[in-house]
Amino acid sequence: MNGVINSCYISTQMKKVGFIINPKSGTDRKINREDLIRQFVPAGLDFEIFLWKKLEDKEELFRQAMNSDCTIIAAVGGDGTVNNVAAAVSGSQKALAIIPFGSGNGLARHLGIPTDTQAALQLLNKAKTSVIDSCYLNDKAFFCTAGLGFDAHIGKLFAESKNRGMASYAWMTLKEISAYKPVRYKLTIDGQSSVQEAFLITFANSAQYGGNAYIAPEADIQDGLIDITIIRPFPLYKGLELAYRLFNKSLAKSEYVTILKGKHIQIERIQDGPVQFDGEAAIMGNTIELRIEPSSLRVIVP
């Protein structure tokens, strides 16, 4: 866990958990997640199940969960499920819990939350909470990373693919990297503008994409700042070196990488294109605004 501090606890008398379960997100989709939750939920814990079976059920299901007497709302699914549930909980008096089933599990890994279901559920016994920042890419909330360029391109392809998991993501990256063309961006950070030709630009609240790939190793999820990682065009033979640095937390030492920090960010590009936020893909316009809301989300931590 990257220095998450200022913790407190939810008392036993006030503790009730609403599990929002997405049976189709992330990996291990053949596992009955509702049965698994009921099997391993801590003894004596008061809880309620909210099954998210269809995308169009989201608004009503989340309304029911947020209007319930649950003091903790647990996201059971992949990174997209965590993003959606966290966005609903952010700014409220409820706390977010994460029961990870994703291929990356970026927020869970940053916070030190176990990827083992039983171990993640055991955190609900103590119900220790910390408060973290929430970020927004236009109106889309994100809590780990958002980005433009190559990672958004891969995010779009990955979202459209039937194959999940880190191996599929890595293979897709290898196939696409040689053909991808860098893009020129006008980047304005807290009023200071520059023009950047970039392979990718990632905006990081937490340190990693997920899967222990550290795109912004020094990112602090409680500092009220967004880390901005710019990877400039590089020779293809340097790709392996950059990948190595991504996983050993030394990306900032590369001559092709600059990492900045800011609160209010604007990006201008020539045309509309893909973006990614917490692994979710979307198409946005040629002008994009980023902002951060400090200390806006309570989350269960180890």
Q: Which pLDDT score, from 0 to 100, does residue 26 have? A: 58
Helix, strand, or coil (residue 136): strand
Q: Which pLDDT score, from 0 to 100, does residue 9 have? A: 85
Residue 239 CA to residue 197 CA, distance in Å, equals 17
Q: Which pLDDT score, from 0 to 100, does residue 104 have? A: 83
Q: Which pLDDT score, from 0 to 100, does residue 5 have? A: 65
Its CATH class, for the domain covering 140-294, is mainly beta
Q: Which pLDDT score, from 0 to 100, does residue 2 have? A: 54
Calculated CA dihedral for residues 223, 102, 116, 120, nearest 10 degrees: 50
Give the architecture (CATH level 2) of 8-134: 3-Layer(aba) Sandwich (3.40)
pLDDT in tens, the chain (302 residues): 455 667 788 877 789 999 999 877 655 666 789 999 999 999 999 999 999 988 788 999 999 999 999 999 999 998 989 999 999 999 999 999 999 998 789 899 999 999 999 999 999 999 999 999 999 999 899 999 999 999 899 878 877 676 666 667 777 788 888 889 999 999 999 999 999 999 999 999 999 988 899 999 999 999 999 999 999 999 999 999 999 999 999 999 999 999 999 999 999 999 999 999 997 889 999 999 999 999 999 999 99
Pinpoint the residues of the chain covered by CATH 3.40.50.10330: 8-134
DSSP string, 24-60: TSSS-TTS-HHHHHHHHSPTT--EEEEE--SGGGHHH
Q: Which pLDDT score, from 0 to 100, does residue 21 have? A: 94
Q: Give CA separation, 144 vs 40, 148, 188, 218, 241, in Å.
A: 27, 14, 21, 13, 24
Residue 286 CA to residue 81 CA, distance in Å, equals 27
Pinpoint the residues of the chain covered by CATH 2.60.200.40: 140-294
Residue 296 CA to residue 218 CA, distance in Å, equals 20
Residue 261 CA to residue 154 CA, distance in Å, equals 24
Q: Which pLDDT score, from 0 to 100, does residue 29 have? A: 62
Q: Which pLDDT score, from 0 to 100, does residue 223 have? A: 96
Q: Which pLDDT score, from 0 to 100, does residue 25 have? A: 66
CA of residue 154 relative to chain centroid, distance: 15
